[in-house]
Amino acid sequence: MARKTEFDVDSVLKGLMLFFWENDFEATTMRKVAEFVHVKPQSLYNKFGNKEELYIVALGYYTRLFKRTLQVIEKQNKAKNEILCDLLVMDWENDVFPRGCMAVDAVGTREYRSVTGMVDNIFNEYRKSIQRVISKDSAASKDNLVGLLLTFHNGLQVEAKSCSRSALYEKAVEFIKVLDRG
């Protein structure tokens, strides 16, 4: 008979996401992951599998949270350019979360092959969100603009690890101003 899970799965999933968002996948061990989420390594193996499977589960949790955050940002009662800035900075409004973007970080890992579809899904959802926001305009080349905004967002998320949120927001505002002029 299978043993009953002895921990709160949602709390552990959030902990796994936070751990892998902040720590290099290749440089870590199952023991370090287990210590971070306060669960015995064997319990993690039993519930989720090996380290790669833990990473995939953590990225899945991040994906769901990311999609919910996009929806919240899109529904704000703000001007289009303010919403675009919020999408570019992607401020989670939660100081507990690490800086940057877990999906952008995943691109550089050895495990990227096993999560390519998930990362592509995150970027596609982000792209659709930007498209919905800019669709209110009649810009001639929306696809090019969306691609440019996605690239700028990814660059901001890399820079986020060493830059304040207010500085990131200022860069986003300046970028949107340049787009409006051009």
pLDDT digits (tens, 9 = 90+) for 36-55: 999 999 999 999 999 989 99
Compute the 3-state secondary structure of the chain and give helix, strand, coil in percent, each to the nearest 5. 70, 0, 30
Q: Which whole number is the average pLDDT over 27-44?
A: 92
pLDDT digits (tens, 9 = 90+) for 61-96: 999 999 998 999 999 898 888 888 888 888 776 657
Domains and CATH numbers, the chain: 9-181 (1.10.357.10)
